[in-house]
Amino acid sequence: MPHLLHLDSSADLAGSRSRALTAAFAKAWAARGDDHTITYRDLHTEPLPRLSTPALHWAPRLRRPEETAPEADEALQQAILDELFAADVLLVGAPMYNYSPASTLKTWIDYIHVPGTTFTFDDVPSQPMAGRAAVVVTSAGGSYVEGSPTESWDHLTPVLQIVLGTALGMDVTVISTELTLAPRIPDLAAQVPHSEALFAAAVEKATTLAAKL
């Protein structure tokens, strides 16, 4: 059964573009049939506690003797990892907050970016998610497109590409929507039609991708 893990992290429960885009993807995924199942996790409304100890950053076999973690925290991390391992496709809603991922999403990354468990660190091959699809939906108030003066300010997309793509070996597709603050910032007013066009194109891309992944 093809299974989707759908994560959202926007703090905006009313007008979020990343939430609208992940919802469009999930709807198109579900429309493929009852065998296309979904696990949903809202990292904003039900935030994970931040990592209690750096021991959790390492696979148990790579920890030093003094690096221990409370049993309950180990169990929570294992549950988060099992949720990821069960996914054929990972869908991540990622708003840009201060040029980087929302802290709630960053915390989820802290749980799943584990040397020796989700990516190979020593001579034991450890990349269980390799080759599976990850769809990253980014949403930013400004613009960080290639060639723009603020291109290098985007510390959201690269982090997700490095962790999910380079480290975990997943096949990452980024669906981005930008200039979402155009209707609100007077200097960006002329960009409103462009912002709307970007969003419409992103909806189309999400829907098309969900129908074929």
Ligand X SMILES: Cc1cc2nc3c(=O)[nH]c(=O)nc-3n(C[C@H](O)[C@H](O)[C@H](O)COP(=O)(O)O)c2cc1C
Q: Which residues bind ligand X (CB under 6 A)?
A: 10-12, 16-19, 95-99, 139-142, 180-181
Task: State residue 170 phi and psi, 5-degree precision.
Answer: -80, 160
Measured from the CB of residue 16, what is the shortest distance to ligand X in angstroms?
3
Measured from the CB of residue 151, what is the shortest distance to ligand X in angstroms?
12
Show the tokens assigned to 156: 């959201």
Kindly tell me which of 142 and 169 has the beta carbon lying closer to ligand X: 142
Kindly tell me which of 11 and 145 has the beta carbon lying closer to ligand X: 11
Kindly tell me which of 77 and 157 has the beta carbon lying closer to ligand X: 157
Measured from the CB of residue 181, what is the shortest distance to ligand X in angstroms?
6
Kindly tell me which of 72 and 145 has the beta carbon lying closer to ligand X: 145
Kindly tell me which of 18 and 107 has the beta carbon lying closer to ligand X: 18
3-state secondary structure 15-64: CCHHHHHHHHHHHHHHCCCCCCEEEEEECCCCCCCCCCCHHHHCCHHHCC
Nearest to 139 by CA among 203, 80, 84: 203
Kindly tell me which of 114 and 179 has the beta carbon lying closer to ligand X: 179
- 199, containing H or E segment: helix 192-212
Measured from the CB of residue 179, what is the shortest distance to ligand X in angstroms?
8
Measured from the CB of residue 129, what is the shortest distance to ligand X in angstroms?
24
Which string of b and e fits 30-68 if b means at least 16 CB within 10 Å? eeeeeebebeeebbbeeebeebeeebbbbbeebbeeeee
Measured from the CB of residue 11, what is the shortest distance to ligand X in angstroms?
6
- 155, containing H or E segment: none
- 2, containing H or E segment: none
